[in-house]
A and B are shown apart, each in its own frame.
Chain A
Amino acid sequence: MELKDKLVSSYVAFENRVETDSEVHEIRSKALQNFEALGFPTKKLEAWKYTSLSSVLKQDYSLFPNKENNIQLADVKKYFIHDIDAYKLVFIDGKYSSFLSETTHDTFDVCLMSAALVKPKYKAVIENYFDKIATKDNLTSLNTAFASEGAYIHIPKNIEVEKPIQIINLTTGSEAATLLQPRNLIVVEQNAHVQIIERHQSLTSNPVLTNSVTEVFAAKDATVDIYKIQNDDESASLVDNSYIEQKSNSVVSVHTFSFGGNITRNNLNFYQRGEHIDSILKGITIIEGKQHVDHHTLVHHIGPNCESHQDYKGIFDERSTGVFNGKVVVEKEAQKTNAYQKNNNVLVSDKATINAKPQLEIFADDVKCSHGCTIGQLDDDALFYMQQRGIPKKEGKALLMYAFANTVLESVKIPEVKQRITKLIAKKLGVDIGFDL
């Protein structure tokens, strides 16, 4: 049976597991109809021209893993930013692991979507925010149809969350192939502040497909920093659909570090509803083999006097492929917009490919929009210069690539995350250089 049919026919079984007498379930049922009509994206769609899911969709995925799988902390510790105190939401094969997690309900909520969707306490927030900005496209609809578990984070007015929140999705590989659909909701009220680190990690080489949806609401004067670490096993594929709505004077940054996986597709969408909003989108992609990373970004400038900053760097070795599609829409009302987009790529091997496409739709007349895209090789003169100073070619290349990616790391606010990413880069490039941090 094709995956689409299998999903649609499993819906009855899914309904036996969740609360169906609710508004949320109405949303889910509509989303299923939507997905049924649309099906999975194919390369015929402009947005999927350079990314094919067909090989990934051929797997016979287990949709609702039943086994409770326990994991020892020692075995997975390395996937956490473990040297900092943090709240943790850990999911194993899509199921919440209370043993590995650290939640809170003290002054704010860091807890489970499954609870938030049914408990009266959360009803108002769910009604106001659940599925309000997620689009009705194919994969997001699929996620919405089966939305039942994920992270629920609600930070009330004026609260500054003092430690980061880590959301970690682990897959044990106890099933031959696993499909996961985490659904996250992050609501940050006026003048509140939160930092989030998100990671997906497969623990075996059994295929995994994760179709994740995250909705983020940043109210007036709120600050939200999100770090996505994508360094998964080569058999794991990820579609990350993130939707972010910002109100006046809010600042939201998303850093995406894509260092591994089979097929990784990031759909990152920002909607600016207000004035003096700042949206920051940054990414480093370093891949090799036959890996594929696709960044589709959208910044929708709706109100005036707002800014957006995009800076994506990519290093592609062997036969790896990359896509960068950065769309900026500036509405007629969005005067004095300052939108900046940069995408620089290095092809280390002549078999590697990058498809880069800036897309600007500007309807206002008093705006500053700039975009720049480069694709190049490592500078031979710079390499010779380094070799002349005694730095071997391999280390020199690594240093050049590190330097190339470095500008993206400058805006990382959590030192431990910065350190971890630096180490991951050094490890990826196969060298041990004593970088200063």
Chain B
Amino acid sequence: MLKIENLHASIENKSILKGLSLEVKAGEVHAIMGPNGAGKSTLANIIAGKDEYEVTEGNIQLNGEDIGELAPEERAHNGVFLSFQYPVEIPGVSVTNFIKTAINETRKAKGLEDMPAKDMLKMIREKSELLEIDRKFLSRSLNEGFSGGEKKRNEIFQMAMLEPKLAILDETDSGLDIDALRIVANGVNKLKSKDNAVIVITHYQRLLDYIVPDFVHVLYDGKIVKSGDASLALELEAKGYDWIKQELV
């Protein structure tokens, strides 16, 4: 599904990714862990197409197609979804209106008609129940005045509505209490299938108790320096990152 080869990227001439390679297949869950400043969020933003980063070397392929030149919305239309670490507040646009626009624009890009209002409402009802979201919440302005947990739950709600092929969860666990974490993880697990893939970016093991990864990667200084199975996350939780840094020396 996703294949990243020797990716180098910088922002304002500061090199952040320094030869990162990663392959994610359909049906898999990958966790990317690593200390602050390692380049985890940069990787997520580059896959999503944020243009303030400059890719200087390497490439990103989605289902065999190089997506390097595609606009963020085109990547979204191809099934890329990024759950933001800090979702943006947009006063004046309700959650419902926003997701309706997002879905219909995606359908338009695929040459489909707008989703009938009845189907849209039904889907909104189902997915909001899945994430235990109150109906009143849906008519509020997008992310405006939302608590940290509400913002993250709203991200996963949108993910559920858009049904992406590749979902990248950028520190979705930060700012969540244990109940909210369980609801969010449960939502992600219900959406998982053999046809889609998930990349979980996190500092902590605790989210991985709920969303169990097939692979765990350690990102350090712009590269993946170690990969393993779920047990690697436990080891990192117990020992921190210093031992990896030492291994590298």
Residue B71 interfacial (CB < 8 Å): yes
Contact between chains at A390 and B90 (CB < 8 Å) = no
Chain A residues with CB below 8 A from B99, complex form: 389
Residue B109 interfacial (CB < 8 Å): yes
In the complex, the chain B residue whose C-beta lies closest to that of A379 is B88
Contact partner of B90 (CB less than 8 A), chosen from A382, A387, A393, A433, is A382
The 7 closest A-B pairs by CB, nearest first: A403-B92, A406-B92, A387-B72, A390-B106, A390-B76, A389-B102, A385-B88
Residue A70 interfacial (CB < 8 Å): no
Residue A225 interfacial (CB < 8 Å): no
Interface centre among A382, A390, A400, A402 (most CB of B within 10 A): A390
A390-B73 CB under 8 A given contacts A381-B88, A395-B101, A395-B105: yes
Contact between chains at B92 and A407 (CB < 8 Å) = yes
- Using a CB–CB cutoff of 8 Å, the interface residues on chain A facing chain B are 379, 381-382, 384-393, 395-396, 399-400, 402-407, 433-436
Interface centre among A384, A393, A434 (most CB of B within 10 A): A384
Residue B21 interfacial (CB < 8 Å): no
Chain A residues with CB below 8 A from B76, complex form: 387-390
Residue B158 interfacial (CB < 8 Å): yes
A384-B93 CB under 8 A given contacts A390-B162, A395-B101, A434-B114: no
Residue B48 interfacial (CB < 8 Å): yes
Task: Give chain B interface residues in 86-102, CB to chain A under 8 Å.
Answer: 87-94, 96-102
A384-B72 CB under 8 A given contacts A379-B88, A390-B102: yes
Chain A residues with CB below 8 A from B104, complex form: 434
Q: Please, how many angstroms separate the alpha-carbon atoms of A390 and B97 in the complex?
A: 14
- Using a CB–CB cutoff of 8 Å, the interface residues on chain B facing chain A are 48-50, 71-73, 75-77, 80-82, 84, 87-94, 96-106, 109, 114, 141, 158, 162
In the complex, the chain B residue whose C-beta lies closest to that of A436 is B97
- Can you list 10 A-B pairs with a CB-CB distance of less than 8 A? A384-B50, A385-B84, A386-B90, A386-B102, A387-B76, A388-B81, A389-B158, A391-B73, A399-B101, A403-B92
Contact between chains at B72 and A434 (CB < 8 Å) = no
Known: A387-B73, A436-B96. 15 other contacts (CB 8 A): A384-B50, A384-B72, A385-B90, A386-B98, A388-B82, A389-B102, A390-B103, A390-B109, A391-B102, A392-B109, A393-B73, A399-B93, A402-B92, A403-B92, A403-B93
Question: Measured between C-beta atoms, what is the minimum distance from A394 to chain B in Å?
Answer: 10
Question: Measured between C-beta atoms, what is the minimum distance from A104 to chain B in Å?
Answer: 38
A390-B105 CB under 8 A given contacts A384-B72, A403-B93, A436-B94: yes
Contact between chains at B48 and A403 (CB < 8 Å) = no
Q: DSSP class of A's interface residues: helix, strand, loop or mixed?
A: helix
Chain B residues with CB below 8 A from A407, complex form: 91-92
Contact between chains at B73 and A403 (CB < 8 Å) = no
Contact between chains at A382 and B88 (CB < 8 Å) = yes
Question: Measured between C-beta atoms, what is the minimum distance from A341 to chain B in Å?
Answer: 19
Question: Measured between C-beta atoms, what is the minimum distance from B3 to chain A in Å?
Answer: 21
Q: Please, how many angstroms separate the alpha-carbon atoms of A396 and B101 in the complex?
A: 10
Q: Please, how many angstroms separate the alpha-carbon atoms of A400 and B92 in the complex?
A: 8
Chain B residues with CB below 8 A from A435, complex form: 97
Contact between chains at B100 and A434 (CB < 8 Å) = yes
Q: Please, how many angstroms separate the alpha-carbon atoms of A386 and B73 in the complex?
A: 8
Contact between chains at B72 and A388 (CB < 8 Å) = yes
Contact partner of A391 (CB less than 8 A), chosen from B48, B94, B101, is B101
Question: Measured between C-beta atoms, what is the minimum distance from B224 to chain A in Å?
Answer: 24
Question: Measured between C-beta atoms, what is the minimum distance from A359 to chain B in Å?
Answer: 27
In the complex, the chain B residue whose C-beta lies closest to that of A408 is B92
In the complex, the chain A residue whose C-beta lies closest to that of B117 is A434
Chain A residues with CB below 8 A from B98, complex form: 386, 389, 399
A400-B96 CB under 8 A given contacts A390-B73, A392-B105: no
Q: Please, how many angstroms separate the alpha-carbon atoms of A391 and B105 in the complex?
A: 6
Chain B residues with CB below 8 A from A405, complex form: 92
Chain B residues with CB below 8 A from A387, complex form: 49, 71-73, 76
In the complex, the chain B residue whose C-beta lies closest to that of A381 is B88
